[in-house]
Amino acid sequence: MGSCFSFESRSPVPGPSVSATKRKSSRKWSTEEQLQGIPGRMLLNGSSEVASLFTQQGKKGPNQDAMIVWENFGSRMDTVFCGVFDGHGPHGHFVAKRVRDSLPLKLSAHWEINIKNDDDVVRETSANTLYSADASLISVDEESRVSIDVDKTEKQPEVLQTLKDSFLKAYKFMDRELRGYNRINCFCSGTTAVTLVKQGQDLVIGNVGDSRAVLATRDKDDSLMAVQLTVDLKPNLPVEAERIRKCKGRVFALRNEPEVARVWLPNSDSPGLAMARAFGDFCLKDFGLIAVPEISYRCLTEKDQFIVLATDGIWDVLSNDQVVNIVASASPRSFAARSLVEVAVRAWRTEYPTSKVDDCAVVCLFLDSNSIDSTSKDDGQDCL
C-alpha cells in the first residue's frame, strides 16, 4: 500500500485557469466518447460479450486510473487487447489516458510490421534464442524477461517472438513520445501499464509498474484457483533495486511506512516513486527507472476461465484468491468488474479507515464461450 510519491503528489501546481480546465475537460470527454465509438473498443465503464470493465475515483483527487478493452484488435477477429493504467504525480491522469490511447496503436503497428518480416528469419531467431524444452524462464536481455510455458505447441516461439518484439518496441516508442509531448509535463508524473494480447489460445502480457494480471483457472479437482501472471515491479525486488543503485538512484522506505520501498534521486529526498518501472517520470530515467516491459507468455487451455487486470487500488486490499472468487460469483457477470471495485472500496474503509481510498480500475476478460449477460456496452459510463 502507499501512494506513489512520499509527498503530496497531486498538490496544486501552476497551471491553466479554471475556465481553461473546464474547456480541456470538455474536449477530453469528447475525445473519449469518440474513441469509445470505435467498433470493439471500450474505454469507459461497461461490458461486452467477453469483458467487463469498471473504474472508480478514490479520495485522493482526480481519477488517475484508466483502462481499455479492444476486441478484433489489429483487425483480427480472434484477437483482443486489454490494459489498465495507474497514473501518479501531478499530471498522472493525463499520462495514463495518453498511454491508454496511444500504446495499443503503436503495438498494432509494430506487430503488423513484424508479421510481414521474412518468416524464415523469424523462425530461425525463435529457435535460436527463445525455445528451450528444459526452461520456463528465459532471459532475453538485461532489462526484460520472457516467461514461457514450455509444454505447448511448437508454434509458440514464433508467436512469442513476434509479439515480444512488438511489445518492446511499442513500450519504447511510447515512452519516447511522452518525453517529447509538450502538452503533458511528465517530468514527475507517469503511469503503470499492464497490457495483454490474446490471439486464439495464445496470451502475451507486457507489464511495467505494480498493476497486476491474475488468471482464474481450474485445478485437477476442478476447483477454481488464482494464478498470478505478472510480477509487481517494485523497488524492493533485488534485481530492480540493483539496477537502480547501479545508476546512482537510491532505494529506501520512509520510517512511517517501512513496508513501501521507494526510488529517490541521488542527492534529493524526492520524488519517492513506489515502483521500479513506469512510463514517464523522466526525473528518474537517468537513475535506474525504466519503461521496459516484463513480457510473459501462456498458452490458454479449457481449464482457464477468466483474467483480471487491475490497478493497485484492488491488490492493496484484496488477495488474488479473493479477487478470483468475487469475479466468479458476480451475477450477472457483466457486473463483475464493478462488483470487484465495490468490494475493494469497502475493504479500504474497513482495513484503512484513516487512509484515503485509492482509485480503482478493473478489466475482466472472460475466456469461455458463454456470452456475457445481457447488458449494453455503455452500462454505467456516467460513473467514470
- Tens place of pLDDT per residue across the chain (384 aa): 544 554 434 433 344 444 444 455 455 555 666 666 677 899 999 999 999 999 999 999 999 999 999 999 988 899 999 999 999 999 999 999 999 999 999 999 999 998 877 454 545 544 444 333 333 333 334 455 555 444 444 455 577 889 999 999 999 999 999 999 999 999 999 999 999 999 999 999 999 999 999 999 999 999 999 999 999 999 999 999 999 999 999 999 999 999 999 999 999 999 999 999 999 999 999 999 999 999 999 999 999 999 999 999 999 999 999 999 999 999 999 999 999 999 999 999 999 999 999 999 999 999 985 544 444 444 443 333
Using omega within 30 degrees of 0 as the cis cutoff, is the peptide bond preceding 104 cis? Answer: no
Cβ contact 291:317 at 8 Å = no
Using an 8 Å Cβ cutoff, are 345 and 303 in contact? no
Q: How far from each other are the two terminal CA atoms of the chain, in whole angstroms?
A: 23
**Structural domains of the chain in order of their starting residue, each with its CATH number:** 51-232+278-370 (3.60.40.10)
Contact 373, 321 (CB under 8 A): no
**β-pairing verdict for 294-299 and 145-147:** parallel
* Burial class of 311 by CB neighbour count within 10 A (0 to 12, 13 to 18, 19+): buried
Distance CA 35, CA 335 (A): 22
Q: Could you tell me the pTM of the whole model? A: 0.83
Give the residues across from 87 on adjacent strands. 191
Q: Which one-letter amino acid corresponds to residue 59?
A: K
Nearest to 310, CA basis, from 46, 54, 1: 54
Angle between helix 156-180 and 119-129 (nearest 10) = 100
pLDDT in tens, 76-90: 899 999 999 999 999
Q: Which helix (H) or strand (E) holds 71?
A: strand 65-71
Q: Are 245 and 258 in contact (CB under 8 A)?
A: no
Tens digits of per-residue pLDDT, 339-374?
999 999 999 999 999 999 999 999 999 998 554 444
